[in-house]
A and B are shown apart, each in its own frame.
Chain A
Amino acid sequence: MTSVTAGRADTAPFQPESAPDYLPAAILRELQLARLRSTLQRAWSRVPLHCSRMKQCGFEPGDLRTLEHIAALPFTTKADLRDTYPFGLFASPMADIVRLHASSGTTGKPIVVAYTRQDVDVWTSVMVRSFAACGLHAGDIVQNAYGYGLFTGGLGAHYGAEGLGTTVIPTSGGNTDRQIMVMRDFGVTAICSTPSYFLHLIERAAQLGVQVRSLPLRAGVFGAEPWTASMRRRIEDLAGIQAFDIYGLSEVIGPGVAVECLHQDGLHIFEDHFFPEIIDPDSGRVLPEGEEGELVLTTLSKQAMPMIRYRTRDITALIPGACRCGRSLRRIRRISRRSDDMLIVRGVNVFPSQVEAALLEIEGALPHYQIILACEQGLDRMEVQVEVTPEMFSDQIGVLERLNQRISDALEHVLGLRAQVTLVEPLTIQRSQGKARRVIDRRRAQP
């Protein structure tokens, strides 16, 4: 007989906070249209970039008749956030802004996002509804191992879990042995972290003689990096928990844009606050439900930083039909990949162009390089191999070692994470049609 994962549940007590999840579709669409109108109006009157973009295509907020009509508007991209760094897309004066977060951008400069009091409340409410959808409730003891700080994961999950009435332990990321001690001694029933960190935690616990399976832990809410169905199975088998996928991005709000319910059959988007479209990443054309493409999100209630048709670069599809849980919120499939070259390493966004920028700064010319990602004991490991050029080569060991260190420091400065730098002989990095393959990702080679 196959054993059912301990604590697996198909139903959970109804939480009043989840009521908007069950709005009748017609009412939900009406609400979306009304909120979209006011969002466009706000962006038009307060954010020069959005205003000039709308004018360029002859669009005025009052023109909006239907939700589908949004396709007439241009996209917003990460480059727009970078170009208007730090505060250029804010639609509220600083006096109304109560929080700033930042995440890494493509050139080393972070992108900055802002929240009014109401934005924080909305964010908290979608996180409350996320945890409720995962079956958490008052009485649960939640270990929040997302990093607290500029990253939206830590505080987003914290406020949500607290808002739901669970007991939150703000362990933040890192210090694995202490995390295991807390998990065991405090009787933790649910955990939030990146999936890769949780795998690492299970493995380390086993080394310390702690069997996570035998602890009261019954649920994990994992996000901030793409993961596979097989990784979920592995986590669920090893830890004896139900592992849920949560999705979000700082540019839109942070975690809490979409989450799985107990049926784990796609992620419900909190459509009363975020309007999803799936587009063909090449043509920009909106694709019908069920077809795979890039997720584009428009915020419907954000005040400090409304986002209009933001290209997430995440590839997914809207799942047709209703979920067995009864929520009217539409679902997206688990994010399978991204349409650009962004990598997520230990929850940090990394672009090969950042590595290039760091190397250029040091060398003045771009050497051939390769990023190699591997998974060691459940943790991402990043190595940057750099081909030695005659310009950087020296007959003295010390000079080369200092060069190695300088590259390593520059990468850490730009990426916000430590990468191992290896100097390699010329022509050793594999090339295809003269161009070096920039990234080798061995993390998910084995299912």
Chain B
Amino acid sequence: MKLHQLSVFSENKPGHVVAPCRLLAREGIDIRALALADTERFGILRMIVSDWRRAQDLLEQAGSVVRITEVLAVEVPDRPGGLAGVLEVFQGTAINIEYMYAFPFVRGQKAVLVFRFDQPDAAIACLQEAGIQVLSSGALQEA
């Protein structure tokens, strides 16, 4: 139920994000979701890919610092209020969202939200109780 997200350290300089993306492309690894968090000086490239173990090996061999984090992906209707409906689930709980990013499905009217929670297991329980589907990595592949 939890997905493995790759985070890669990047300096905030021209051309620094393209190198890992190009490497994965050359090896036939598909980037399912991607978000870039940055400050003035450095950035963190966060990715969900088709084969995280191989992607991690390839990136590390190329000299990148990679961290694997467990995140949750949730499918919501791609319409106004879709995101709010999910966030409301956590109101009044002690669960904290460390960060999140969203991307639309190419097909269909759904969007996928990726969350990094401080308590992923508690978050899964909350979401399931609210009837919100947490995507498996397989489901994301098919997206």
Contact = CB atoms under 8 A, between A and B. Distances in A.
Interface of A: 388-390, 393-397, 400-401, 404, 422-428
A417 B28 CA distance: 49
10 contacts: A388-B9, A390-B66, A396-B99, A400-B44, A422-B41, A423-B9, A423-B42, A425-B16, A426-B64, A427-B63
Contact of B116 (A395, A400, A423): A395
A38 B10 CA distance: 64
Interface in B21-52: 37-39, 41-42, 44, 46
Given A395-B116, A400-B42, A426-B63, 14 more contacts: A390-B66, A394-B7, A395-B7, A395-B44, A395-B67, A396-B44, A396-B98, A396-B116, A397-B39, A423-B9, A423-B11, A423-B41, A425-B9, A425-B64
B69 interface: yes
Interface in B45-98: 46, 63-67, 69, 98
Contact of A389 (B5, B10, B42, B65): B65
Given A400-B44, A425-B9, A393 B39 contact: no
B65 A393 contact: yes
A395 B11 contact: no
A27 to B, nearest CB: 63
A390 B42 contact: no
A404 B16 CA distance: 20
B130 to A, nearest CB: 26
A410 to B, nearest CB: 18
Contacts of A423: 9, 11, 41-42
Contacts, number: 52
Interface of B: 5, 7, 9-11, 16, 37-39, 41-42, 44, 46, 63-67, 69, 98-99, 116
A397 B37 contact: yes
Contacts of B98: 396
Residue of A388, A424, A425 with most chain B CB atoms under a 10 A cut-off:
A425
- Chain A to chain B: the 10 pairs with minimum beta-carbon distance, closest first: A395-B7, A427-B63, A393-B65, A388-B9, A395-B69, A388-B65, A397-B37, A426-B63, A395-B67, A393-B67
A395 B46 contact: yes
Which among B38, B44, B69, B116 has the greatest number of chain A C-beta atoms within 10 A?
B44
A172 B66 CA distance: 49
A220 to B, nearest CB: 38
Nearest to B42: A423
A424 B11 contact: yes
Nearest to B10: A425
A401 B9 contact: no
B35 to A, nearest CB: 10
Contacts of B10: 425
Nearest to A400: B42
A367 to B, nearest CB: 11
Chain B interface mostly: strand
A405 B120 CA distance: 28
A396 to B, nearest CB: 6
Contacts of B16: 425
A394 B41 CA distance: 15
Nearest to A404: B41
Contacts of A428: 11
A425 B64 CA distance: 7
Contacts of B7: 393-395
A138 B73 CA distance: 81
Contacts of B37: 397
A388 B98 CA distance: 21
A423 B65 CA distance: 12
Nearest to A394: B67
A390 B67 contact: yes
Nearest to B46: A395
Nearest to A420: B41
Nearest to A392: B65
A334 to B, nearest CB: 39
A396 B11 CA distance: 15
B65 A395 contact: no
Contacts of B42: 400, 423
Contacts of A395: 5, 7, 44, 46, 67, 69, 116
A425 B65 contact: yes
A54 to B, nearest CB: 54
Contacts of A404: 41
Which of A388, A395, A404, A425 has the most chain B CB atoms inside 10 A of its CB? A395
Contacts of A426: 9, 63-65
Nearest to A396: B98
B6 to A, nearest CB: 9
Contacts of A422: 41
A197 B131 CA distance: 68
Contacts of B99: 396
A425 B11 contact: yes
Contacts of A424: 11
Nearest to A401: B39
A396 B116 CA distance: 10
A440 to B, nearest CB: 17
B115 to A, nearest CB: 13
Nearest to B45: A395
Nearest to B37: A397
A172 B11 CA distance: 39
A49 to B, nearest CB: 47
B55 to A, nearest CB: 15
